[in-house]
Amino acid sequence: MSNTEQDNRPAPGQRATGLDEVDLRILGVLRENGRISMASLAETVNVSRASVYNRVERMTATGVITGFTAQIDPGMVGLDVCALVFVTVHPQSWHRFREGILQMPDVEYCCITTGEHDAMLLVRSLDIGGVHDFVTGVVAARPEVKSVVSVVILDEVVSKSYLLPTDIPDRSGSSNRLGMTRFTTAGNGRDSVR
């Protein structure tokens, strides 16, 4: 392998995305301040305003940047309680479950998972009673749901709008592996849920 080929390879743990170092710096600045002017952004990443504008437009058109939004403190708007809801779904009911979740305004985030449970929901509420009512009266009441486990979040330690490949440290030389991670593949139709 030539030196040129080695220079173009992503670092271990990082995927090639078609983005260069300047694109990643732009995304890093936008993560901290999505309202920054193009002139200030250009100055911060040390490229021309036209280059920044073109890069942001390209990343938006290709779907790298999916939108711009305000970030809020949930507690400041009265959503003082946050919970993770782990759901186990009956086999062959994934599409109905997914359609149902999309209709639930209480859900801030939902993902299909491997392991003991099939899905994880992040929900917010005005109080603990609201979480209880949602979990027992809405989620657990769905015919697709086999079981539900709720965990109330006591403190949100890290909350980032997104990670970049440059945020991930190179751990390829780490020889201090203490254990194994158990990975359970998706089953019962979970792998085809879209």
78 with 60, same domain: the answer is: no
142 with 81, same domain: the answer is: yes
Note the pLDDT of residue 17: 64
Rounded to whole angstroms, the Cα distance separating 110 from 122 reads 6
Who's near 33: CB < 8 A, 6+ residues apart? Answer: none
User: Is 171 within a domain?
Assistant: no
144 with 100, same domain: the answer is: yes
Note the pLDDT of residue 1: 39
User: Is 94 within a domain?
Assistant: yes
How many structural domains does the chain have? 2
**Under 8 Å between Cβ of 117 and 149:** yes
Domain boundary among 35, 56, 71: 71
Closest by Cα among 13, 6, 64 to 168: 13
Q: Which CATH number covers residue 134?
A: 3.30.70.920
90 with 50, same domain: the answer is: no
Note the pLDDT of residue 26: 96
User: Is 13 within a domain?
Assistant: no
User: What is the arithmetic mean of pLDDT over 34-62?
Assistant: 95
Radius of gyration of the chain (CA): 21
User: What is the arithmetic mean of pLDDT over 42-70?
Assistant: 94
Q: Is the pLDDT of residue 192 over 90?
A: no
44 with 91, same domain: the answer is: no
84 with 126, same domain: the answer is: yes
User: Is 175 within a domain?
Assistant: no
Q: Is the pLDDT of residue 8 over 50?
A: no
Give the chain's mean pLDDT: 85
Q: Which CATH number covers residue 48?
A: 1.10.10.10
Task: Collapse the DSSP code of 117 into the 3-class scheme (helix H, G, I; strand E, B; otherwise coil) and give the result.
Answer: coil
Rounded to whole angstroms, the Cα distance separating 118 from 181 reads 18
Which residue type occupies 80?
D
Chain center to CA of 96 = 23
Who's near 134: CB < 8 A, 6+ residues apart? Answer: 106, 123, 125
* Strand stretches in 4-144, DSSP E: 81-89, 107-112, 119-125
Task: Collapse the DSSP code of 27 into the 3-class scheme (helix H, G, I; strand E, B; otherwise coil) and give the result.
Answer: helix
38 with 109, same domain: the answer is: no
Note the pLDDT of residue 170: 86
**pLDDT band, very low/low/confident/very high, at 191 (cuts 50, 70, 90):** low
99 with 49, same domain: the answer is: no
Q: For 88-108, what is each residue's pLDDT tens digit? A: 999 889 899 999 999 999 999
Please indicate whether residue 98 or residue 1 has the higher confidence score (pLDDT).
98
49 with 63, same domain: the answer is: yes
84 with 102, same domain: the answer is: yes
User: Is 179 within a domain?
Assistant: no
Note the pLDDT of residue 18: 84
- Say what the pTM is: 0.71
Q: In which domain, by residue range, is 114 found?
A: 74-153
Domain boundary among 51, 71, 91: 71
User: Is 193 within a domain?
Assistant: no
Q: Is the pLDDT of residue 64 over 60?
A: yes
137 with 66, same domain: the answer is: no
83 with 119, same domain: the answer is: yes
Q: For 116-158, what is each residue's pLDDT tens digit? A: 999 999 999 999 999 999 999 999 999 999 999 999 999 989 8
